Amino acid sequence: MHGGNDACGARAVARCTELGRAPYSQMEGGLFRPYLGPSYRATCERLAQWMQDAGMATRMDAAGNLIGRYGGQSPDAPVVLIGSHIDSVRDGGFFDGMLGVVLGIEAVAHFARQGKRFPFALEVIGFGDEEGSRFPRGMLTSHAVAGVLESPDPDMTDCMGTATLATALREYGLDAKRMHMASRRDDPVVAYVEAHIEQGPVLEAEGHALGVVSAIAAQHRYRVTLCGMAGHAGTVAMKLRRDALAGAAEIILAVERVGRAGGDGLVATVGSLEVAPGAANVVPGHVAFTIDVRAGTNATRDDAAREILHIAHQVAKRRGLGMDVVLQQDLDATPCGPRLTDLMKHAVRAVTHTPARLLVSGAGHDAMVMAHLAPVSMLFIRCAGGISHNPAESVTDADAGLALRAMTTFIGLFERRFG
């Protein structure tokens, strides 16, 4: 049985690699799979075929998530959801998100080959918009499933300036005003399980193939806009300038300084910067950038965010700049379900023959939203160099095989303790 799972782990890696290229990517020479784009449609069609081959019935929900269902021992059986996200960042890696979806399919296929049914249904879900790499809000679709989606702006425009959310959904026969109907609040969902690459170096550094997530870090993400005065680079005196980019640079260094000084897993990042007019001989008059603040607790995150924004306001005032701050993402620290964490620790120990390494995830995941719906568990898989959101992202066949064995073992343990 182990040999079969190991071979299916290799197949999972091969499938993720296949989905990293056209027509499953919208980017020449790299991977970019934005929510509801042409590459997203092609990917959903391919995944749906694999789900059906594994014995599942498939559908797309009102938010554009792909779902495969492997029924339980009764039609009204409760549901264990297994999944991750389908979308990718621009020029991303092949395994971020997708490996969790494909391993979910392989886990169901493992039980289908045995003719095994459970007192619960297994559903594999591929979330459409975890990354927020198309529209300026991440995790839209898991918020919808968890029943906590605030009405999204149907007129928000995508990063390419080619479509609104309403238009993109309409092309799939969906309605932005009905996204909330993807909610599973009225369904008996008893657990959500997500396998994901670690996106960090700890497992590799310590020689572990797998890790168990105990909690997911709190996160705030802001979009900051500074407005100064554009002018000729050769004629505007230095003392008279209202240089938005110079102000942004000062704030960016403060973000790094606050992040470095904090504890409790605090990190602070400016990852996106837009400068206008963007000409070599013009003093920048308008700059927009993001600030991402994460920590192991809400309190540490909030203290750091307050300090950063206080400094930013001081810089803007001193330099004569207008400043606008929009909170784009507000995610609380999310503990994984203690009972499920214990089962995943036992599963990892059973397949690796070593105690499970517990980790706090600094990256955000759909699991932190799904925790509003049901207890969650996350399994981390070692990735080479801890590299992620990068074409160099890499996972071995052997580690994927171990992850699949841990997942099927976990499901077996969950059945024994179910009810």
Interatomic CA distance for residues 103 and 196, integer angstroms = 9
Same domain as 182, residue 306: no
pLDDT at 33: 96
Residue 419 predicted with pLDDT over 70: no
Q: Which of 284, 299, 331 is the last residue of a domain?
A: 331
Share of the chain above pLDDT 90, in %: 88
- Cα four-point dihedral sign 153, 361, 41, 174: negative
218-263: pLDDT as tens digits: 999 999 999 999 999 999 999 999 999 999 999 999 999 999 998 8
Interatomic CA distance for residues 126 and 44, integer angstroms = 8
Q: Which of 298, 331, 364 is the last residue of a domain?
A: 331
Same domain as 123, residue 12: yes
- Cα four-point dihedral sign 276, 168, 129, 146: positive
Q: Which domain holds residue 343?
A: 2-217+333-417
129-142: pLDDT as tens digits: 999 889 988 899 99
Where is mean pLDDT largest: 67-71, 383-387, 414-418? 67-71
Same domain as 244, residue 164: no
Mean pLDDT for 32-48 is 97
In angstroms and rounded to an integer, the radius of gyration of the C-alpha atoms of the chain is 23
Same domain as 193, residue 84: yes
Report the run of H or E that residue 38 belongs to, with start and end: helix 38-53
Residue 199 predicted with pLDDT over 50: yes
Which of helix, strand or coil describes residue 236? Answer: coil
Of 221, 297, 289, 291, give the one whose Cα is nearest residue 266: 297
Same domain as 266, residue 407: no
Same domain as 34, residue 158: yes
342 marked as binding residue: no
Same domain as 62, residue 97: yes
Same domain as 165, residue 89: yes
Interatomic CA distance for residues 379 and 316, integer angstroms = 43
Mean pLDDT for 347-352 is 98
pLDDT band at 417 (very low <50, low <70, confident <90, very high): confident
CATH number assigned to the domain comprising residue 97? 3.40.630.10
Same domain as 118, residue 227: no
Residue 346 predicted with pLDDT over 60: yes
pLDDT band at 1 (very low <50, low <70, confident <90, very high): very low
- Cα four-point dihedral sign 346, 104, 6, 206: negative
Residue 3 predicted with pLDDT over 60: no
372 marked as binding residue: no
256-285: pLDDT as tens digits: 999 999 888 899 999 999 999 999 999 999
> What's the whole-model pTM score?
0.83
Same domain as 80, residue 158: yes
Q: What count of residues does the chain have?
A: 419
281 marked as binding residue: yes
pLDDT at 2: 60
Same domain as 374, residue 363: yes
Q: Which residue has the tokens 């026969």?
A: 173
Interatomic CA distance for residues 236 and 240, integer angstroms = 7
Share of the chain above pLDDT 70, in %: 99
Residue 95 predicted with pLDDT over 50: yes
Interatomic CA distance for residues 369 and 146, integer angstroms = 7
Same domain as 136, residue 109: yes
Q: Which of 312, 331, 350 is the last residue of a domain?
A: 331
pLDDT at 174: 96
221 marked as binding residue: yes
CATH number assigned to the domain comprising residue 268? 3.30.70.360
Interatomic CA distance for residues 176 and 174, integer angstroms = 7
Mean pLDDT for 189-193 is 98
pLDDT band at 418 (very low <50, low <70, confident <90, very high): confident
Count of domains in the chain?
Answer: 2
Q: At what angle do helices 2-18 and 98-114 cross, to 10 degrees?
A: 140
96 marked as binding residue: yes
